[in-house]
């Protein structure tokens, strides 16, 4: 696996770290030029050589009258100029999406050749992303705007490539497989179809700038929809380049619109164009607002305060500690699936788990981006939250709790050492503490508590009271314990067994929340069909009429 090349001292070399520290060791000879679809050179993006992001509407790449400058997350220099559509400029986007009929760009009875076209596009795009120089291009670009280790960034590219591979060839049309049921008489038969919504919208977050928007975008296209895509402007350059790759692989340019704007303008666009379905991935607060504004025509993959329960069978302590470290602190904790709270059975308390977790957390460093900028929570806000939690009786700081040192990360972002706080279970469950303890901090931060054998129901009560039910882990090989916890919990993606984790979902299983009819999934055929199509029943009744049929009496 490729590793980052260290760029020297952080304080003295912040500029070089931001521009030159995103190259893996040379297990292959990287081309001196960008891939053929690319309009940028990743290694050149800097304050002195800024990149630019355009919109795509009605098949044309266009700038906007206004633009925003994205600050380099490692040194604060303005280094990417992003088109910023204003409310007065949304008309072309509204017109473009409004042209798509409710029956979609294709469906099982119309435009069937597009299923084959999209299968071919997926084949070509998967082949492109499998090329080392293209995978490296996207991994380094991801690092540039959403700093994470090279291995984490490359993993995101790999999952995206495997997803495209999974839906190559005939697999797209298999998504639209229908069924038939015999009718009541000769000539009658009912057919169930997966039907597109037509005009749709996708709003994607910053933390997975390639994987989340690309998987949802392709799912929308596969089922026959026309999407307008908005990605967080801090990272939208990644999807801009991916769209150019898809065009290079012969995706029609008119199939997708790509808009860069602030939230207010995007909200106005949605209210004006009234898409038949909107997929939103992001904060619960915004999700609830959109659900009301769009009158429920929405699917949500919102935030999660994700829990992990360690069962009574203590084993493989080194491995469990490593998984806990990865779950809580990889990508600086900026995963919607990140481990937010760890419930330890009393048998684990006397183990070396916590010291081992601390040792693993303390080896993370900014030089290789195993810890880095937090893009949605400031250092000050995280430290204030820690202080509030330490006011709870019996609470204590296990490790971390301090700002990162010797860096040039701008103050609008956060920079915190990997942190864990212990909160007694009985205190956490008190009504005046529970909301504070279970507040999601989208950074390198977790709560740790322990429970006795007879307190398992208290743990399950805590899980029941949480509002978001995205991922969870039950770390145990005790089948009766697993049965008890799994049968009394609801999280949509739950790992069970001694190797259980909360993060690192691949493309081969459902990833998404549960417990809400608006829940969205990602990755699998079931997720694509659920999110991006609805059921349509067509009942054919072609006769013939019975011999000697006459008009019956009125009923």
Annotated catalytic residues are 301, 336
Within a 10 A sphere around the Cβ of 412, how many other Cβ atoms?
Answer: 11
Query: Tokens representing 167?
Result: 């839906």
3-state SS of 63-102 is: CCCCEEEEECCCCCCEEEEEECECHHHCHHHHHHHHCCCC
Output the DSSP codes for 420-453.
Answer: EEE--HHHHTSHHHHHHHT---SSSEEEEEEE-G
Per DSSP, 255 falls in state G
Strand 534-541 and strand 188-195: pairing?
antiparallel
Output the DSSP codes for 6-20.
Answer: P-S-TTTTHHHHHHH
Buried b vs exposed e over 499-538: b needs ≥16 C-beta within 10 Å?
A: ebbbbbbebeebbbbbebebbbbbbbbebbbbbbbeebee
As beta bridge partners, residue 339 has 306
Within a 10 A sphere around the Cβ of 144, how many other Cβ atoms?
Answer: 28
- How far, in Å, CA of 320 to CA of 475, rounded? 8
Buried b vs exposed e over 414-429: b needs ≥16 C-beta within 10 Å?
A: bbbbbbbbbbbbebbb
Kindly report the backbone phi and psi dihedral angles of residue 336, in degrees, each rounded to the nearest multiple of 5, phi listed first.
-65, -15
Within a 10 A sphere around the Cβ of 170, how many other Cβ atoms?
Answer: 10
Beta carbons within 8 Å of 405's beta carbon, 6+ residues apart = none
C-beta separation of 327 from 495 below 8 A: no
Q: Exposed/middle/buried for 347, CB within 10 Å: 0-12, 13-18, 19+?
A: middle
Q: 508 in helix, strand or coil?
A: coil
104: left (phi over 0), alpha (psi -120 to 50) or beta: left
The upper half-sphere exposure of residue 45, i.e. CA atoms within 13 Å in the direction of its Cβ, equals: 31
Per DSSP, 544 falls in state P
- How far, in Å, CA of 307 to CA of 319, rounded? 18
Strand 226-231 and strand 199-204: pairing?
parallel
Query: Tokens representing 491?
Result: 């999280």
């Amino acid at each position: 696996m490729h590793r980052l090349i260290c760029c020297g001292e952080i304080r003295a070399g912040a500029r070089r770290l931001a521009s030159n520290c995103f190259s893996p060791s040379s297990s292959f000879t990287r081309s001196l030029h960008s891939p053929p679809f690319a309009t940028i050179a990743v290694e050149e993006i800097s304050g002195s050589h800024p990149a630019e992001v355009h919109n795509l509407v009605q098949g044309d790449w266009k700038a906007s009258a206004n633009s925003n400058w994205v600050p380099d997350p490692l040194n604060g220099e303005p280094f990417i100029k992003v088109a910023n559509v204003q409310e007065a400029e949304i008309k072309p986007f509204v017109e473009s999406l409004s042209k798509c009929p409710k029956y979609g760009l294709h469906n099982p009875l119309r435009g069937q050749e597009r299923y084959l076209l999209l299968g071919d596009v997926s084949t070509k795009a998967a082949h492109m992303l499998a090329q080392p120089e293209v995978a490296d291009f996207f991994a380094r670009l991801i690092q540039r705007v959403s700093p994470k280790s090279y291995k984490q960034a490359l993993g995101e590219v790999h999952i995206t490539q495997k997803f495209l591979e999974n839906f190559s060839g005939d697999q797209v049309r298999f998504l639209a497989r229908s069924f038939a049921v015999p009718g009541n008489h000769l000539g009658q038969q009912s057919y169930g179809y997966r039907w597109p919504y037509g005009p749709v919208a996708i709003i994607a977050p910053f933390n997975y700038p390639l994987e989340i928007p690309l998987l949802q975008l392709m799912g929308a296209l596969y089922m026959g929809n026309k999407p307008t895509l908005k990605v967080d402007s801090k990272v939208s350059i990644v999807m801009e380049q991916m769209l150019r790759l898809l065009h290079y692989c012969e995706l029609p340019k008119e199939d997708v619109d790509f808009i860069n704007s602030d939230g207010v303008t995007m909200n106005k666009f949605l209210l004006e164009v009234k898409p038949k379905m909107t997929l939103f991935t992001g904060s619960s607060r915004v999700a609830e607002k959109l659900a009301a504004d769009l009158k429920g025509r929405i699917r949500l993959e919102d935030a999660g305060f994700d829990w992990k329960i360690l069962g009574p069978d203590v084993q493989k302590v080194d491995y469990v500690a490593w998984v806990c470290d990865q779950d809580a602190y990889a990508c600086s904790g900026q995963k919607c699936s990140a481990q937010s709270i760890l419930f330890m059975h009393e048998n684990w308390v006397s183990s070396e788990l916590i010291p081992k977790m601390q040792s693993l957390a303390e080896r993370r460093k900014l030089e290789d981006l195993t810890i880095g900028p937090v893009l949605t929570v400031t250092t000050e806000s995280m430290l204030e939250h820690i202080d509030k939690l330490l006011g709870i009786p019996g609470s204590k700081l296990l490790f971390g709790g301090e700002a990162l040192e010797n860096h040039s990360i701008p103050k609008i972002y956060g920079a915190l050492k990997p942190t864990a706080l212990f909160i007694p279970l009985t205190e956490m469950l008190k009504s005046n503490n529970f909301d504070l303890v279970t507040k999601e901090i989208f950074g390198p931060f977790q709560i740790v508590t322990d429970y006795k054998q007879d307190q398992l129901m208290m743990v399950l009560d805590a899980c029941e009271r949480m509002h978001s039910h995205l991922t969870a882990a039950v770390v145990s090989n005790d089948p009766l314990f697993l049965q008890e916890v799994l049968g009394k919990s609801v999280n949509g993606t739950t790992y069970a067994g001694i190797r259980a984790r909360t993060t690192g979902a691949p493309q081969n299983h459902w990833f998404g929340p549960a417990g809400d009819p608006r829940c969205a999934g990602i990755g699998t055929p079931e997720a694509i069909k659920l999110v991006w199509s609805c059921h349509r029943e067509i009942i054919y009744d072609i006769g013939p009429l019975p011999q000697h049929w006459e008009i019956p009496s009125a009923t």
